[in-house]
Amino acid sequence: MDAFVRFVDRLSLWTGHAFAWTILILTFGVSYEVFVRYVLNSPTSWSYDISYMMYGALFLMAGAYTLSRNGHVRGDFLYRLWPARVQAGVDLVLYLTFLLPGALALVYAGVPFAAQSWRFREVSFFSPAGIPIYPMKTLIPIAGVLLALQTLAEMARCWRCLKEGAWPPRLHDVEEMETAVLHQHEHEAAGAAARGDRA
């Protein structure tokens, strides 16, 4: 079970890092559009398409990555006060009743949706440039599969917590600056306390 959780966590990590590059494409596309529209008075016909496709790809493909990092929003003003086993039990029920069926619904509905789009070589009718959108629609079932796998990994993590009474460790990735500064301050304070104890 641990090998499965590690594999899925690494897959989600790789996917999250790969699709994080869409943020740069989105930023450069929007910045370019603002420049040519307002400075050169020559708007593009493709910038809107690039922005919604990049944002859509990021939104779809970051779900499993965010779940693997325990980063989804939750009402943790109560949750964080519960013992680990209670947290794991509540999470397990919610994953089983809501998240896993939702992820499987993305796969179930997304496969024929994407297949039909590929069959017609669908283009955006909102776009004067006629941007192809069938690759984008293919991301729907792929995101569903990745989210379902990560949900199963999270359920395994909950099961282990229910048995052991503590959450198993997660892969270390990136931290927000506030968290990194807080950890550095705690480390320095612990070092100062240890030096004081020795003296």
d(CA 54, CA 92): 32
Whole-number Cα distances in Å, 127 to 44, 118, 131, 174: 11, 18, 6, 37
Distances in Å between the alpha carbon of 191 and those of 6, 35, 172, 198? Answer: 32, 51, 23, 11
Q: Which of 17-21, 102-106, 148-152, 186-190 has the lowest mean pLDDT?
A: 186-190
pLDDT-based confidence at residue 2 (cuts at 50, 70, 90): confident
pLDDT at position 113 is: 93
pLDDT tens for each residue of 104-134:
999 999 999 999 999 999 888 777 777 888 9
Confidence check: pLDDT of 161 > 90: yes
Give the pLDDT confidence score for residue 142 in this predicted structure: 97
Please calculate the CA angle 76-80-170 and round it to the nearest 5 degrees: 95
Q: Is 170 left (phi over 0), alpha (psi -120 to 50) or beta?
A: beta
- Per the model's pLDDT, the better-predicted residue between 77 and 102 turns out to be 102
Residues 160 and 119: their CA atoms lie apart, in Å, by: 44
What are the distances in angstroms from CA 151 to CA 33, 73, 99, 176? 38, 15, 7, 24
Angle at 178 between CA 177 and CA 182, to 5 degrees: 115
d(CA 161, CA 155): 10
Q: Is 123 helix (H, G, I), strand (E, B) or coil?
A: strand
* Over residues 52-72, mean pLDDT: 90
Q: Is the pLDDT of residue 194 over 80?
A: no
Q: Which of 39-48, 61-70, 123-132, 190-199 has the highest mean pLDDT?
A: 61-70
The percentage of the chain sitting over the pLDDT mark of 90, rounded to a whole number, equals 59
Q: Where are the domains of the chain?
A: 2-72+80-168
Q: How far apart are CA 72 and CA 55, in angstroms?
A: 18
Q: Is the pLDDT of residue 187 over 90?
A: no
- The pLDDT value recorded for residue 198 is 60
Length of the chain: 199
Q: What is the pLDDT of residue 45?
A: 80
Which amino acid, residue 104? L
Q: Token pair for residue 199?
A: 């003296």
Least confident interval from 37-41, 77-81, 112-116, 150-154? 77-81
Predicted local confidence at residue 171, as pLDDT: 80
Whether 199 shows a pLDDT value over 60: the answer reads no
